[in-house]
Amino acid sequence: MSTSPDNILEISDVEVVYDSVIAALHDVSLAVPRGKIVALLGGNGAGKSTTLKAISTMLASERGKVTRGAITYDGVAVKNQTPAEMVGHGLVQVLEGRRCFGHLTVEENIIAGAYSRKLSKADIKAELEKVYGYFKRLRERRKSQAGYTSGGEQQMVAVARAMMAKPKMLLLDEPSMGLAPQLVAEIFNIVQELNKKEGVSILLAEQNTNVALRNADYGYIIETGHVMLHGAADELMNDDKVKELYLGISKEGRKNFRDVLREESASHADLHHH
């Protein structure tokens, strides 16, 4: 696969191994075109987080290693960089589970996101205002200790914090996890806005296939470290297999969704984890 300048991110035939033995990804290839939102879908343990961490180089601190294949971000081969260096190049990962700094205030959390940049006090103020423009809820909560805010607010803090690094590309790991539908919608609206107005390219890992595909341009579905299917978001939404396995809209819509996923990951456990 030759790299195209239209893609901000290209991954080809990547294999990832944890602890030198456990293979988590086998041959994952995907591309994120500049300025687009691409969804990475799959159930528990499919390899979504592993893929994102391979890109952000966060793998190294979890004893994980890319053992085959190539990752190219913004024309540069991702090899032995540190996460801090990747942030310097404009690639920021928002980790699964929000991971706010619980003892810091909401505003301190957000300001910490600008750590990699050399900004004056005035610059930071201006950047904060801009971020609060997107995350209006956070402005009211800015003096609160982040650990005491709601799950939705913490997810917003995590994304707002990442935005302070002035990213060209965000890797979002399950932003909908554990949140009520209207909060999920609110967060995805902001993500859409950031994508449109700030031109941030986004790779979005999600188990919530429905919401992810509705907000993405393109999607990849992975299972046990293999890409099973990929295509434009609307095509995937109309694909029969996706409908049945991932969208659960055979009869009752959302109600079935979790069950299908759970069944599906349970059968995986039978097949591949003994």
Partner 1 sequence: MTEILFFIEVVVAGLLAGTMYSLVALGFVLIYKASSTFNFAQGAMVFFAVLSFVGFMELGLPFVLAFFVTILLMGVVGFFTERLVLQPLMNESEDTVLMATIGLGFVLEGLAQAAWGVEVRRLDLGIGDFPIPWIIESTGLFISALDLTAGLVAATMIIGLALLFKYTKMGLGLRAVADDPGAASSIGIPLPSIMLMVWTAAGVVALVAGMMWGARAGVQFALVDLALKALPVLIIGGFSSIPGAIVGGLIIGASEKVLEVYVGPFFGGGIEVWAPFVLAIFFLLWRPEGLFGEKIIRRV
Ligand X SMILES: Nc1ncnc2c1ncn2[C@@H]1O[C@H](COP(=O)(O)OP(=O)(O)OP(=O)(O)O)[C@@H](O)[C@H]1O
Q: Which stretches of the chain bind Mg ion, using CB under 5 A?
A: 49, 96
Question: Which parts of the chain fold into alpha helices (H)?
Answer: 48-56, 83-88, 106-112, 121-134, 136-140, 151-163, 181-198, 209-215, 233-238, 240-242, 254-272
CB of 81 to partner 1, least distance (A): 11
Choose one: 33-41, 110-118, 197-205, 227-235; the region binding partner 1 (CB under 8 A).
Answer: 110-118
Does residue 67 belong to the site contacting partner 1 (CB under 8 A)?
Answer: no
CB of 64 to Mg ion, least distance (A): 13
Choose one: 40-48, 73-81, 106-114, 246-254; the region binding ligand X (CB under 6 A).
Answer: 40-48
Show the tokens assigned to 266.
């349970």
Choose one: 39-47, 67-75, 106-114, 235-243; the region binding ligand X (CB under 6 A).
Answer: 39-47
Among 6, 13, 27, 62, binds ligand X (CB under 6 A): 62
Provide the residue type at 13 as one letter. D
Show the tokens assigned to 226.
């293999």
DSSP assignment string, 172-198: EE-TTTT--HHHHHHHHHHHHHHHHHH
**Residue 44 binds: one of partner 1, ligand X, Mg ion, none (C-beta under 5 to 8 A by kind):** ligand X
Q: Residues 18 to 37: which contact ligand X by CB under 6 A?
A: 18-19, 22, 24
Question: What CA dihedral angle connects 172, 174, 177 and 179, to 10 degrees?
Answer: 40
Among 31, 92, 187, 203, binds partner 1 (CB under 8 A): 92
Provide the residue type at 138 as one letter. L
**Dist. CA 236–CA 41, nearest whole Å:** 11
Choose one: 9-17, 34-42, 67-75, 161-169; the region binding partner 1 (CB under 8 A).
Answer: 161-169
Question: Which residues make up the interface to ligand X (CB under 6 A)?
Answer: 18-19, 22, 24, 42, 44-50, 62, 96, 207
